[in-house]
Structure formats: C-alpha cells, structure tokens
A and B are shown apart, each in its own frame.
Chain A
Amino acid sequence: MTKPVETSTQDRNSQLLAEFKTTTGDVRVEDPKMRMDNVDVHYGDNQAIYGVDLDLGKNEVLAMIGPSGCGKSTFLRCMNRMNDTVDSCRVSGTFSLEGQDIYAPDQDVVLLRARIGMVFQKPNPFPKSIYDNVAYGPRIHGLASSKDELDHIVETSLKRASIWNEVKDRLDAPGTGLSGGQQQRLCIARTIAVSPEIILMDEPCSALDPIATASIEELIDELRQNFTIAIVTHSMQQAARVSQRTAYFHLGRLIELGDTNTIFTNPSHELTENYITGRFG
C-alpha cells in the first residue's frame, strides 16, 4: 500500500473514516441465525452506530473487535434489546431473528431474552445459592415440570459450563462465594440453563486472570456445537483463538468483516490493519 506524506496515525484514521462508504468483506451469510440491516443507534443527540449491516450465522462464533468507544458493546446490547433499559437510547434498522423483527411492537421482550441470552463483563451471580442461580431462569419460564427435571437441567448446565466438578458438593453455597473465574462460569451456566439459541458475550474475560480466561475460551469452543455465539472482546488474541468470523468496528462503523484468519493475517482495510498492528487503540 502506498502511503502519502507522513502524517500521524490519528490524522490518517480520521481521513480514512471520512472516506468510509461501505463495509469491506462479506457481511451476509447463507441462512443466517440473525440478520441486522442498516442499524443506527443514537444516545440522545449522539450517534453511536452508523448504518451497520451484519449477519450472524448458525452455530458460529462471531467476534466483534475495535478500539474503546467504537460501539461494539452498544451493538451487542441491541441484539437482545437490553438497550431498552437505557432511556436515551434510540435504535433504528431491523434486527431479524430467523425472519422475525425483534423490535416489532408486538414482540414479547421476555420471550426474546429467553431465546437470546447474555453474559456480562463483570460476573454478576445473584446473591443466592449456586443451585438457585442456575435454576432461576428455568423456574421463571416454567421449563421444568418436576424437581428432578430441574435438578437435571441444573446439573447439565453446570457440566456444560465446565464447573460441575468444582461445585457439585456445595450447590447450596452462595454463588457470590466463588472466585472470579468460577463466578463467570456460573453466569454462563445460568445463561445456558434457559437453552437459548444465541448467547451474547460482552467481554466475558476482561475481569479474569489468564488461567480462568483460558478455561472460558475452551468453553466457548465447546458451546459452539449447541449455540450461536457473538462475543465482544478487547483482546485480539482471544478473537483469533475462539472465533470463525471477526467484525472490526471503528467509531460506530463496521469497517471490515471476514474470516478470522484472514482479518488477522491479511486485513483488507487500512483502518483494520492499523488497529491490528497496534498502531492505536
């Protein structure tokens, strides 16, 4: 790539952003789990997301990377309408879950969130026992018709979250008494107990140590078999390790989207390349 006269990276990025028209790479997939079309998000008078098109494929892990404040968490939270709790947030565009617009007025938010689960940045187990934490979702949705069934759901979820062996003898202990990594795995178990179709993860490992992070990354790979996962991450190494496709966001715009390996070894857009090579962010 030929460079013009030497300018600082900031100036160059602003220039590239001004020239930005459409996303580089293939945003569309065949038979997507969720399709996002021309999404704009405003917080009051500030626009946070500018015209993003994105498809989420079935049983894939899609990583969303980008510098701080680029809107990836905002975008993620729109996917299960968690931004409804923020008064000043206005979302336009379509989010279709298997053909159904989730922002339609007759869409039941409670049902939506039972189909699309979320794991948050800071582990937030309820101040209840480990069992009650995992059982809360199935209980309120009436997924278990007997105590035995509920026990089974709890056990399966804890096993799938790779934490069963550590807690099987103390299911009545408070969830908040676990270590950070264990708490996050408990939150993952809690989310999958409801058997959602999609799991959204908002920087799930940023508050954890490397060993806990590694165990969760392993977990994400296993979960891919049964769920579709969209993960926002600050760590490019993590995105490279767990995802199949990666989306690069920059100041509210989706700059590039493509196969993870390609993005990290041979990005097409200069903004992506600047970020990946650590020139900024």
Chain B
Amino acid sequence: MSEETINSRNTTAVVEAGLAKRYARERRFRLMGVAAVSVSVAFLAFLLISIFAKGIPAFKTTYVKLDITLDQKALRLPEQPSLQDLSRGRYDSAIKKSLLAQFPEVTSRKEKRALYKLVSSYASRQVADALVANPDLLNTTASIWVLADDEVAALARNADYTQNKKDAGTELIRTQIEQLRAEDRIDIRFNWLFFQRGDSREPEAAGIKGAIMGSLYTLMVTLMLSFPIGVAAAVYLEEFAPKNRLTDIIEVNINNLAAVPSIVFGLLGVAVFINFFHLPRSAPLVGGIVLSLMTLPTIIIASRAALKSVPPSIADAALGLGASKIQTITHHVLPLAMPGILTGTIIGMAQALGESAPLLMIGMVAFIVDVPAGVTDPATVLPVQVYLWSDSPERAFTERTSAAIMVLLVFLILMNALAVLLRKQFERRW
C-alpha cells in the first residue's frame, strides 16, 4: 500500500461527485426499457386492432325471408317421401320461383340472372333442412329464412368498400334490399354457420369447423405421441444414461433437431409415412406424427432443465428411506419437475398449432369440405385454412381470413391459460 491513506472524507466527496452521473445513466437505461416495451405494445395493439377490424364483419351474416311454395310434384318428390327423400329434393327451382314472385318487376334475362344471385347456393340446403325438421310444410307455401349472397350481405351491412360501387347492377340490388327491408324480410344475424360448416367455394357458406376439428385431431395425436416419449427420454438422459460418448452424441443431436427447419420434417413425413408406410394423405394422423417429431426436442430440452432443477436433497431423502430409483423419480422428482415440463409441452403445442409448412408437404393443403370425423379422415388445419382463404379474391374471404386468425389466437390464449392453470396445480414449495 502507498503512504497515502484513504480516509472516509475523501471517499465521500468522490462518491458524491459521481452520483449525479450514475443516476442519470440509470434513468436513461430505464427510459430505454420503457420505450422498448411501449413500442412493442404499440405494435401489438396495431396488429390486433387491424386483425379485429377486418375480422369482425365475418361474424355477421345476412338472412333473407322468402315465401317458397313446396309443391311435391315440382320438387320431384315421391308420394310418401322419407326424410332422406326430403333432403334430396330439387329446391333450386322453388327458390327461383319465390324470388320471381317477390320481385315481379324483374323481366329481362340479365336481370333474372342477377336476381337469382340474391341468395346463396347454400339456400337450397337450408330449405331442405327446414323441410326435414318439419315435414308438414310439404305442399304448403312456407316462409323460410335463407342465406343471402356475400355481395348482397355486404351491401345490406353498408360495408365501407361498397360505398364506391355505383354501377346499375349494384343500384338495382340496393333497391331490392330496401324493398326487402321495408317488408321486414332481411335480417343481419351472428354467423353461427361459420362454426358449423367446413370450407366452401361460396364465402358466405364457408366455415371454420373443418379446420378447427382438423387442428384438434392433429394436436391430439401430437400430444399423445410427443409428451410421453419426450418426458421418458428426458428422464432417461437425466437419470439413467451412462456418461459416455454415445450419450453425448444423442444429446448433441437432440439439441440440433430443435433448430431444424420444420419443412424438413414435412419431407420426412412424405418420404417415410406416406410413401413407405402408405398412411392416408392429408390425415391428422400423419400430420400429428410429423409435428410430434418436431415438438420432441422442445419437450425433451425443457423437461431436462426441469428435472435438473429439482433439489437433490429430496431425491437423497427418498433414496435414504429405501426407495428404488424408479420410485424416487416417479414419486418425487417428476411431480416437482412438472411445472417446467408442462410449460415446455405447452410451448411445443403452441408451436405445432401454428405450423403450416410441414403439413402442406403431407397434403393438408387440399380443399376439404367435410368436417373430419376421425384421425384418418382428410383434414386441414387452422393455419393452412388461413393460407387458403387469403389466396381468394372475394372480399368476404378476406374478412374470413382475419376471422380465422382471430380463432387461432383464441386457441393459443386458451392453451396458455391451461398451462398457467396446470402449473398452479402442480406448484409446491420445497
């Protein structure tokens, strides 16, 4: 030490002099943090607002009440029709007749064609459903609410983008809508159809149920495969694997798999599961297997971290009492590691829910109308549905794309909420 002694008065003066600068630096740092968070929140708000603004109109749909004459002979139905016969009747012509009756001033061929487009082609299905629900309506003139065409629906809602359409055809439709409104024959309702039907060429009849069920089945398969295998692999690597080269190689490979682009798993799925094992194309079964391969590294890495974080004193206590290694792991270590394992699983599932590239490769990109009933039926998933709809030019499909994104976000929020709930269940103090 030098001759100079450091006395406390010197130190105080020096520290005091530097304090202002230190605090100023900390203030600047804090401001940067706040600014970063604000910018992120602003962007998030912008994203959500634009999605919601575009998507909300898809949840509103327009119905038109028509008086339809249900004449047995005109509908080409047999004498005593069964319910099956009723659902197969020719309702198109009946609907057209009712439209002509509603608007008798329409005479020219061109105007007639435009008039028939007032209601959706789905309308005939709705009339069939009404008749099946109430067969007594046969041979009467019934007032049935049917789905309006998407262009008409937009005009009826006075949607923004229709303000500029001023050609003769649109003007005529506007007048017709006014007439219907005057007679209380037009109604804007919540679009329950969106959640009841699968995809369709007509945007007003297109629904997301097919994609929701497809996503659910695919995620179910993914979860049932990747969770047990992932957790078991993590337990093996953490507790049982001998410390040798082979184990090191396995660990390195698992960590690397987490970084492989997802489309590569799609290629694997096509080559192995579809071409070699001949599993059905476009099925949630294959989609689930491919996605579980993708999710396994995430779950294994998160589970290993969770297992490592369990204090060894608990395991020591159990072993000291004479518990076997497996008992120690299943009774004590795994339950304590569950919160971390579940978090990793939900992260993996959320990633899988949003994946489209590998599923496109195995064929889940097809236009699938029917709602899948099992894991081997052809299906599509929510992100792919968003992609398919975003390709279509109709304005109504643009709205439905945003609506599908909203449904996807709700799914993700629900999954995260489930994760938080499960973690709270399993959290214990030690």
Q: B-contacting residues of A (Cβ < 8 Å)?
A: 80, 82, 85, 87, 110-114, 117-118, 120, 122, 124-127, 136-137, 140-141, 174, 176, 187, 190-191, 194
Contacts and interface: CB of A to CB of B under 8 A. Distances in A.
A116 B311 CA distance: 23
> What does DSSP make chain B's interface, helix, strand, loop or mixed?
helix
A124 B319 contact: no
A280 B25 CA distance: 50
Contacts of B319: 82, 85, 113
A137 B428 CA distance: 21
Interface residues of B, number: 21
A177 B77 CA distance: 77
Contacts of B140: none
Interface in B282-327: 311, 313-324, 327
Nearest to B320: A118
B174 interface: no
Contact of B314 (A110, A112, A126): A126
Contacts of A82: 316, 319-320
A194 B321 CA distance: 7
Contacts of A117: 320-321
Given A120-B313, A124-B313, A124-B316, A191 B321 contact: yes
B316 A85 contact: yes
Contacts of A110: 322-324
B322 A111 contact: yes
B22 interface: no
Contacts of B243: 87
25 contacts: A82-B320, A110-B322, A111-B322, A114-B322, A120-B316, A120-B317, A120-B320, A122-B313, A126-B317, A126-B318, A127-B314, A127-B336, A136-B318, A136-B323, A137-B321, A137-B322, A140-B321, A140-B322, A140-B331, A141-B322, A174-B429, A176-B429, A187-B317, A191-B320, A194-B321
A207 to B, nearest CB: 12
Given A112-B322, A113-B321, 7 more contacts: A82-B319, A85-B316, A114-B321, A122-B313, A126-B314, A176-B430, A191-B320
B185 interface: no
B322 to A, nearest CB: 4
> What does DSSP make chain A's interface, helix, strand, loop or mixed?
helix
B336 to A, nearest CB: 7
Nearest to A136: B321
A273 to B, nearest CB: 35
Contacts of B316: 82, 85, 120, 124
A119 to B, nearest CB: 8
A124 B314 contact: yes
Nearest to A187: B317
B324 to A, nearest CB: 5
Contacts of B336: 127
Interface centre among A118, A124, A125, A174 (most CB of B within 10 A): A124
B332 interface: yes
